[in-house]
Amino acid sequence: MAFSNGTQNSLSHSLPPLAPLKRERLAMGTVVRGSLQAGIQMKLSGARCVEDITAGKFVVVEGERHEFFAMITDVTLDCVSPGVLADPPASDSSADAFLRKALAGTSTFGTVTMKPMLMRVKAAGGGFEPVKTVPTHFSEVGEATEEDIADIFGNETEGGKYFTIGAPLDMDEIPVCLDLEKFVERSNGIFGKSGTGKTFLTRICLCGMIKHKKAVNLVFDMHGEYGWKGTTEDPNREGVNGLKKYFGSRVSVFTMDRESSERRNVPIENNVRIPYSQISVEDIILLTDELNLNQSAAETTYLLEQYFKDKWLAALLKMDGDGIKEFAERSGANAMSLSALKRKLGRMVEECKGFLIEDADDQDNAVKQIMGCLLKDVNVVLEFGNYRKPLQYMLVANILTRRIHGEYVKLTEAAMGDKGKKPTPLVITIEEAHKFLSPHLAHQTTFGIIARELRKYNVTLLVVDQRPSGIDSEVLSQLGTRITCLLNDERDIDAVLTGISGATSLRTVLASLDSKQQALLLGHAVPMPVVIQSRTYDDQAFRDSMGAYGKTPEIKSISEMISDWK
């Protein structure tokens, strides 16, 4: 192994050396101490400035028989003797400036802590394996090369299995890829406080899945960021292209709010209307906090459903005082609880009157339309327009997900019995995920069921949230890949690192991320944790990388789309 500067390890061992991989790396320092559990410490070379070493940087340790691929987790200042620091050189003296230079790298130096994540034997073609030992004393440490990154994270040219999501820190031109096949195998999460770039990372991941046809997507677009056009903080641009602009007929945009779409001059492909009959008791339980329901509300709702089946909500809303009293006497329900439930559900219906309808003739219409697209491998973006209150968003997302998940269960079970084709993997993207997956709701909602199923029925989640501490810990532990931007709250950091080996060292890395376009990747779709500078969505380089999809497809007129749909 050759480094651009530095010396070779002169220690000899009884075991014969294996054929090294010939790869030039920029030397950083030598290993001086460490342990398998706490990590490895390197004394920084005198030629390197400690200020250039950042937490999260990707490095390679050349041991005697193995290469260790590691992440820098901490940087400290050290010295040979405390006496050196007792009388530090003055900052305004030229003589002392020379003394500082003379001391640097010898009497004073930087110590860098690294966490090895992968290792491989130094024979050509050696495969990667978990770290089970540590490198020898005085092993040399060098910056990772483009070949190192490609060896570990793959290359997008390899048959569409990989998709570039960003670059390692200080290595802007070197791509880090997600393994898309592994990414769609499990539910995943994208976390970070507001303004850190979660939406841009989500769009990048969605583009990868759609471009390489690894899954079909259902996106609950709460803020109108994914369909036709999204916002950007770049003052020189009005916005960025949405998925529809990239993929044309492979993406269908549904809307909850026709008027909002018309004001934004967005073509309307489909209006979503949901009849009362699609609302179940489970949907009402999900809205307990939003509607301020008491414990008896669920029992009362079950009684109504038992008597009126799927007409229960319409029946309740039509009850007057005598009707409530009569039903209470007949069913054993509490009349006061019935009155309170009618009042609160009446408020819900009023807030959702733009898309909730009583007419049962339209039952299953929205579900059938969306299912028709998904089964044809057409990705669906559901825009909420101005219906973005938590109550409205949660109600619609839960109703549609419950019904669509039920259809996927039937199709998958039929395929298991050789009675049909197994559906394409479905990824459901939800924002404000903690509202559906909180500890007291995760076991009752369809989203919680999907997160725990591990793609048993070909359906997974992509949860996007700024409050991961609000998500049930069992659900978090089932997320295969976590893409985490800057988080400040200690509870959120603890939640994201739940069940992660070496979480203590990764806490420092998370805390050191920039506030924009940096993220820590870890989990099932990447071989080892890595900090990336995320690629820029919808710039010229991104459009070029998308190939034919980077060219804005021809958009049909509204009348043409309606005609095609019919």
Residue 199: inside a domain, yes or no? yes
- Weakest-pLDDT range from 35-39, 84-88, 136-140, 545-549: 84-88
Helix (H, G, I), strand (E, B) or coil at 358: coil
Helix (H, G, I), strand (E, B) or coil at 74: strand
Ramachandran category for residue 105: left, alpha or beta (phi over 0 → left; psi -120 to 50 → alpha): left
- Once rounded to an integer, what is the mean pLDDT over residues 398-412? 93
Read off the tokens for 58: 């990707």
pLDDT confidence of residue 433 = 93
pLDDT confidence of residue 237 = 80
Which of 351, 375, 401 terminates a domain? The answer is 351
pLDDT confidence of residue 462 = 97
- Once rounded to an integer, what is the mean pLDDT over residues 287-297? 90
Whether residue 376 is found in the same domain as residue 461: yes
Contact call for residues 109 and 81 (beta carbons, < 8 A): no
DSSP secondary structure letters along 212-233: TTS-EEEEEETTS-SSSEE--S
Residue 95: inside a domain, yes or no? yes
Whether residue 309 is found in the same domain as residue 194: no
Q: What end-to-end distance do the CA atoms of the chain give, in Å?
A: 65
Other CB atoms within 10 A of residue 357 CB: 17
- Weakest-pLDDT range from 120-129, 141-150, 194-203, 259-268: 120-129
Residue 181: inside a domain, yes or no? no
Whether residue 337 is found in the same domain as residue 482: no
Domain with residue 266: its CATH number is 3.40.50.300
Whether residue 336 is found in the same domain as residue 373: no
Residue 368: inside a domain, yes or no? yes
Contacts of 252 (CB under 8 A, 6+ apart): 269, 270, 373, 378, 379, 380, 381
Counting residues of the chain whose pLDDT is more than 70, the rounded percentage is 89
Read off the tokens for 57: 């940087």
Structure-model confidence comparison of residues 508 and 69, the more confident one: 69
Please choose, from the candidates 547, 560, 561, 542, the residue with its C-alpha nearest in 3D space to the C-alpha of residue 205: 542
pLDDT digits (tens, 9 = 90+) for 331-388: 999 999 999 999 999 999 999 998 998 875 555 578 888 999 999 999 999 999 999 8
Whether residue 319 is found in the same domain as residue 363: no
Residue 124: inside a domain, yes or no? yes
Spatial distance between the Cα atoms of 505 and 503, rounded to a whole number of angstroms:
6
Indicate the pLDDT class of residue 444, thresholds 50, 70 and 90. confident
Whether residue 400 is found in the same domain as residue 470: yes
Whether residue 454 is found in the same domain as residue 548: yes
Residue 481: inside a domain, yes or no? yes
- Once rounded to an integer, what is the mean pLDDT over residues 456-485? 94
Structure-model confidence comparison of residues 481 and 92, the more confident one: 481
Which of 304, 325, 351 terminates a domain? The answer is 351
pLDDT confidence of residue 136 = 95
Whether residue 131 is found in the same domain as residue 240: no
Helix (H) or strand (E) segment spanning residue 348: helix 335-351
DSSP secondary structure letters along 436-504: TS-TTTTTTSHHHHHHHHTTTTSEEEEEEES-GGGS-HHHHHH-SEEEE-----HHHHHHHTTT-TTHH
- Once rounded to an integer, what is the mean pLDDT over residues 179-186? 96
Whether residue 326 is found in the same domain as residue 364: no
Please choose, from the candidates 291, 213, 209, 221, the residue with its C-alpha nearest in 3D space to the C-alpha of residue 261: 221
Whether residue 489 is found in the same domain as residue 392: yes
Read off the tokens for 501: 């080996």
Residue 166: inside a domain, yes or no? no
How many distinct structural domains can be found in the chain?
3
Residue 11: inside a domain, yes or no? no
Whether residue 135 is found in the same domain as residue 261: no
Spatial distance between the Cα atoms of 231 and 104, rounded to a whole number of angstroms:
48
pLDDT digits (tens, 9 = 90+) for 101-118: 767 767 888 999 999 999
pLDDT confidence of residue 232 = 83
Per-position b or e across 485-515, b if 16+ CB within 10 A of its CB: bbbeeeebbebbbbeeebeebbbbbbebbee
Which of 317, 351, 385 terminates a domain? The answer is 351
Ramachandran category for residue 292: left, alpha or beta (phi over 0 → left; psi -120 to 50 → alpha): left
pLDDT digits (tens, 9 = 90+) for 526-554: 999 999 999 999 999 999 988 777 665 55
pLDDT confidence of residue 419 = 78
DSSP secondary structure letters along 239-262: -EE-HHHHHGGGEEEEES-HHHHH
Whole-Å CA distances, 163 to 127, 155, 179? 21, 8, 7
pLDDT confidence of residue 46 = 81
pLDDT confidence of residue 555 = 47
Other CB atoms within 10 A of residue 548 CB: 9
Read off the tokens for 377: 């491998």
Please count the CA atoms within 13 angstroms of the CA of 374 that sit on its side-chain side. Answer: 31
Spatial distance between the Cα atoms of 425 and 408, rounded to a whole number of angstroms:
9
Contacts of 215 (CB under 8 A, 6+ apart): 184, 209, 424, 425, 426, 427, 460
* Segments forming the whole domain that contains residue 397: 190-273+359-565
Please choose, from the candidates 42, 9, 2, 6, the residue with its C-alpha nearest in 3D space to the C-alpha of residue 25: 2
Whether residue 396 is found in the same domain as residue 537: yes
